[in-house]
Amino acid sequence: MMSIRRYLFRTLALTLTLVTILSVIAAWLISQNELEEILDAQLAITGRGLMSMLPAEPEAEDYERLAQWMDQRKASTRLYAESGAVRSLDQADGQTFHHEERKVGFGLWNDAGKPLLIGPGWHDAKTQMTAPVEQGFRWRSLEASRWRVFALHDDSRGLWLQIGIEREFFSDIIERIALNQLWPMVLLMPLCLLLVLRHIRRGLTPIRRLSEQVEHRDSGDLGEILLDVPDELKGLRGALNDFLKRLKAALEKERRFTADAAHELRTPLAAMKIHLDNAIAGESNALPKARQGVERLQRVVEQLLVLARVDRHSSAAHEQVDLRALLQDLAAELWPLAQARNQIIELVDLPHVFVAGNATEIGIMVRNLMDNALRYSPDNSTVHVTLESASSGPILCILDSGPGIAESHLNRVSERFHRASDSSVTGSGLGLSIVTAMARQQGVSLSLSNRSQGGLCARLAWS
């Protein structure tokens, strides 16, 4: 992926170039329109001035005098006799004060359209500018050139006056205006790009500083980032701080989990070692005790594996789960454990209820609750399982006859390795932790409460 600095520099450079090109094009178009209006006004004023200089009844001498003043060096004005023949003048070459004068034309015609005087540039050996037919401004062609002309008619003298400027004159002026605007921008472009690059680097400095502060931290430094950043980076800084806070909490939880798990595993291992030593020494009841230790160790390992799976937050696919069928299968699975202590698992009037979720995870969640109920209930007792299809959603309740949980411990029993009930019952303190995590993943509400007649009620509610 392209770096932000390179992207900004390229984008701004292209934008600056595009703005320059558009500015030149706009200057060209605006200048063309404005210049045409200005030169039209000049043509009108000049034409009116020339018409006013002619006497009321012009004679041949008046046209000759005007022709002498209109002559240019190596380009003379053409005079016409009344018969239409070209009249030759015995005069010296005219004078040219500016080379652009050759791009200005001038002519006089009578009402019949016969030429009286045609200035330099509007005639040659083969062709000449024709008489106007109406007053005003228009574009006219003369051989390969185009002319912007203004025509004026004098009814009292019966004269047509036409004056014009060649198209090339327009183009030269417009090109000069556009180039005069383009060259400064082109010459200043490198300086502008250097300034843009400098400001981009300066603007990205806070990002570099933030990256350096995160990069130079060691694995144990999970403190809050206090670097002062612009408003645009405050959201990123806040997100990083939130992530560090969550990471710190997760690492702390893992450290605590590792320490507790090591302690929980150390105890049955030490007990097993003692019972095995006693068995070697000849004690007859040491092997059954060692077997109990193995069973407890096996249960702890199984619970730890399940809890590790829950902590990974695996996104299992959801399906329609039949709670009635699931409860019947779990009751059959746990029946040997209940029968060993003459306990009964009673499924009370279970309706067919379907919920959206993962059957395996729901099964683990409910199995742990039923297993806890059997373990903490006394011998010859009954564990009641009820399922209700309420308007808000299905409600599953598992009722045992055990000692219950002290009110002061109800909010802590879901913590890992926390055991608040009868310590004579073997367990790892992980069962309710697994149930709580599974319920959170499946979107199920878990609540624990003591029954008035004794025992605990574990309630799962789907919404």
Residues 58-103: tens digit of each pLDDT:
888 888 888 888 877 777 788 887 656 676 554 446 666 677 777 8
Length of the chain: 463
CATH number among 3.40.50, 1.20.5, 1.10.287, 1.20.120, domain 218-312: 1.10.287
Tell me the three state secondary structure of residue 217: coil
**Structure token digits, residue 294:** 């193995």
Tell me the three state secondary structure of residue 444: strand
Domain extents in the chain: 4-175, 218-312, 316-462
Residues 339-352: tens digit of each pLDDT:
889 999 999 888 98
Question: What CATH number should be reported for the domain whose range is 316-462?
Answer: 3.30.565.10
Q: What is the CA radius of gyration of the chain?
A: 52
Whose structure tokens read 């209930």? 377
Alpha-carbon gap, residue 425 to 372, rounded angstroms: 10
**Structure token digits, residue 461:** 């509610």
State the pLDDT at residue 398.
94
| Pair 278, 272: CB distance under 8 Å | no
Alpha-carbon gap, residue 463 to 449, rounded angstroms: 20
What single DSSP character describes residue 122?
S
Alpha-carbon gap, residue 461 to 390, rounded angstroms: 9
Alpha-carbon gap, residue 451 to 270, rounded angstroms: 37
Residues 275-284: tens digit of each pLDDT:
888 888 888 7
Closest CA to 105 of 74, 78, 65, 133: 78
The tens-digit pLDDT sequence of the chain (463 residues) is 667 888 888 888 898 888 888 888 888 888 888 888 888 999 999 999 888 888 888 888 888 888 888 877 777 788 887 656 676 554 446 666 677 777 888 899 999 889 999 988 888 767 889 999 899 999 999 888 899 999 999 988 889 999 999 988 888 888 888 788 788 888 888 888 888 888 888 888 888 888 888 888 777 788 888 888 888 888 888 888 898 888 888 788 777 667 656 655 665 677 778 888 888 888 878 888 788 778 767 766 766 666 666 655 555 567 899 999 999 998 988 888 888 899 999 998 889 899 998 887 888 788 888 988 998 899 999 999 999 988 888 999 999 998 888 776 666 555 554 455 444 444 445 667 778 877 888 889 988 888 888 889 999 999 8
Q: Are strands 344-348 and 382-389 parallel, antiparallel or unpaired?
A: parallel
